[in-house]
């Protein structure tokens, strides 16, 4: 079985009930779960039946104990999670949007353990032993200067050991604030472009690809997605494949959803569920984490015999991402057989009896 390691921050997710606004829900009760992009990718891979480990730093207290236990219950390898005497568990607060009102996120992540723990605290030799893929996102380097430096070290340690790197862009404009002298978007692009030379697989949306290429978002509306994907490899030759979610959003609760996988060497793109086809999602239960489910589905497929052919892999990824829209919380509690049932044509949603 092929091993995947992810590195990043895991937080407490504090969500308002249903679609209530913060002002309606508080004072009152919030729904508490654990969340984080890289943890979500690892958890989804493990739940699908893959071999995944998650690396982070957490404070040494009872709430972090519960967080680690939650990850372990999903089948994740948590041996490389550092417990630190300083730092805190980051939080984010979520009010889910509906119809034409978008969802809203408020971050409270300053001075979290992973934001302040230095790179030499991690045992990279042990972390990357017998590992095939290392997964990071653009979120972790956004939370602090130190976290950006640790991300760069982790990439170097992985690539020096022959571990392939998957990078999920995940641009979060509210987070890039650790250098006040630089506008957030400029800081993000400067930092991410320094990481890209060590990336093998790039994952993102169309706007992410445009940003990495140095274009203003939406400035190339008529450029085919596969042409943009090829241009990423032209700028960063180590990138051999580019994957992207394709989403049409009539409202916060209704989407049409699919994905693309472009192979630069073959100069060919594959689409899921098919070229020009989309999954119609009439009522989104929870959109947070669906991109992570797509990334996890893609990596699981690419490392699993029988699913690793590009067309099959992107169909699996798109189906996994689609199903994640039906599950509350960041983690995609979807089994492999459920993903395969959807990708092979069972879209009815009928009760299994």
Provide the sign of the torsion angle of the four alpha carbons 249, 189, 183, 87, taken in this order: positive
* Average pLDDT of the residues in 319-337: 96
**Does the structure show a pLDDT above 60 at 348?**
no
State the pLDDT at residue 216: 72
Percent of the chain with pLDDT over 70: 96
How sure is the predictor about 94, in pLDDT bands with cuts at 50, 70 and 90?
A: very high
What mean pLDDT value characterizes the chain? Answer: 93
**Does the structure show a pLDDT above 80 at 352?**
no
How sure is the predictor about 349, in pLDDT bands with cuts at 50, 70 and 90?
A: low
How sure is the predictor about 196, in pLDDT bands with cuts at 50, 70 and 90?
A: very high
Beta carbons within 8 Å of 130's beta carbon, 6+ residues apart: 3
What are the backbone dihedrals phi and psi of residue 146, each rounded to the nearest 5 degrees, phi first? -60, -45
Which H, E and C letters describe the chain, residue by residue?
A: CCEEEEECCCEEEEECCCCCCHHHHCCCCCEEEEECHHHHHHHHHHHHCCEEEEECEEECCHHHHHHHHHHHHCCCECCCCEEECCCECCEEEEECCECCECCEEEEECCCEHHHHCCHHHCCHHHHCCCCCEEEEECCHHHHCHHHHHHHHHHHHHHHHCCCEEEEECCCCCCCCCCCCCCCHHHHHHHHHHHHHHHCCEEEECHHHHHHHCCCCCCCCCCCCHHHHHHHHHHHCCCCCEEEEEEEEEEECCEEEEEEEEEECCCCEEEEECCCCCCEEECCCCCCCCHHHHHHHHHHHHHCCCCCCCHHHHHHHHHHHHHHHCCCCCCCCCCCHHHHHHHHCCCCCCCCCC
State the pLDDT at residue 285: 93
Tell the burial category of 346 from Cβ atoms under 10 Å away from its Cβ (0-12, 13-18, 19+).
exposed
**Does the structure show a pLDDT above 60 at 351?**
no
pLDDT tens-place string over residues 227-268: 989 999 999 999 999 999 999 999 989 999 999 999 999 999
Which of 72, 55, 40, 178 lies closest to 119 in space, CA to CA?
A: 55
pLDDT tens-place string over residues 122-175: 999 999 999 999 999 999 999 999 999 999 999 999 999 999 999 999 888 899
State the pLDDT at residue 347: 63
CB–CB of 338/326 below 8 Å?
A: no
Q: What's the pTM?
A: 0.94
State the pLDDT at residue 353: 46
State the pLDDT at residue 209: 85
């Amino acid at each position: 079985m092929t091993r995947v390691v992810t590195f990043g921050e895991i937080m407490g997710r504090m969500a308002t009930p249903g679609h209530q606004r913060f002002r309606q829900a508080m004072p009152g009760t919030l729904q508490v779960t654990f969340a984080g992009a890289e943890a979500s990718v690892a958890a989804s891979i493990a739940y699908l039946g893959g071999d995944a480990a998650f690396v982070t730093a957490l404070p040494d207290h009872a709430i972090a104990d519960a967080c680690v236990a939650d990850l372990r219950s999903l089948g994740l390898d948590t041996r490389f999670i550092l417990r630190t005497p300083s730092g805190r568990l980051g939080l984010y607060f979520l009010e889910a949007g509906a119809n034409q009102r978008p969802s809203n996120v408020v971050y409270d992540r300053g001075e979290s353990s992973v934001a302040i723990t230095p790179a030499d605290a991690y045992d990279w030799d042990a972390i990357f032993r017998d590992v095939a893929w290392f997964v990071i996102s653009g979120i972790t380097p956004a939370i602090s200067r130190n976290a950006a430096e640790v991300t760069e070290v982790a990439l170097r340690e992985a690539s020096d050991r022959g571990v392939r790197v998957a990078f999920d862009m995940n641009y979060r404009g509210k987070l890039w604030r650790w250098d006040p002298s630089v506008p957030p978007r400029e800081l993000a692009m400067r930092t991410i472009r320094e990481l890209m030379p060590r990336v093998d697989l790039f994952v993102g949306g169309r706007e992410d690809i445009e940003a990495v290429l140095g274009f203003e978002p939406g400035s190339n509306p008529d450029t085919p997605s596969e042409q943009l994907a090829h241009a990423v490899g032209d700028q960063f030759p180590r990138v051999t494949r580019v994957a992207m979610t394709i989403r049409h959003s009539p409202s916060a609760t209704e989407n049409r959803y699919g994905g693309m996988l472009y192979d630069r060497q073959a100069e060919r793109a594959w689409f899921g569920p098919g070229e020009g086809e989309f999954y119609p999602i009439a009522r989104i239960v929870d959109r947070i984490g669906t991109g992570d489910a797509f990334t996890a589905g893609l990596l699981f497929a690419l490392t699993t015999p029988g699913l690793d052919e590009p067309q099959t892999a992107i169909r699996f990824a798109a189906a996994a991402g689609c199903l994640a829209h039906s599950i509350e919380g960041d983690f995609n509690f979807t089994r492999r057989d459920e993903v395969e049932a959807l990708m092979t044509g069972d879209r009815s949603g009928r009760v299994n009896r």
